[in-house]
Amino acid sequence: MGFTYVDVIIHGRRISKIVKMLVDIGSTYIVLDLKTISELGLIETPYSVELTLADGRRVKARLYLAEVEVKGGKDRLLLLN
């Protein structure tokens, strides 16, 4: 069993960027590092969520809004840092 990756285009206010992402069908959110969020100029929302990581730890993350394109289709998604 291997891993499946896809190239995702994230459209921010400043730039768009292609990011290679691991496909995880059990995931609810896309997680990006703060450097990428800042580079793209993503829109920060007033919301945050508490996440349970694979190792059982719980962390709080802020939500950002971006347009994400996979294989030609576009969706507006909430992204985390």
Distance, C-alpha 30 to centroid of its chain? 3
Q: What is the percent of the chain where pLDDT is above 70?
A: 86
Looking at residue 34, the DSSP 8-state letter turns out to be H
pLDDT of residue 76: 54
- Asked whether residue 19 carries a pLDDT value surpassing 60, the answer given is yes
| Every domain of the chain and the residues it spans | 5-80
Instruction: Quick: pLDDT tens for 4-18.
Output: 888 999 999 999 999
Amino acid (1-letter code) at residue 63 = L
Instruction: Quick: pLDDT tens for 44-67.
Output: 999 999 988 889 999 999 999 988
Q: Are 29 and 79 in contact (CB under 8 A)?
A: yes
Q: What is the dihedral of CA 41, 45, 47, 53, to 10 degrees?
A: -20
What's this model's pTM, rounded to 2 decimal places?
Answer: 0.74
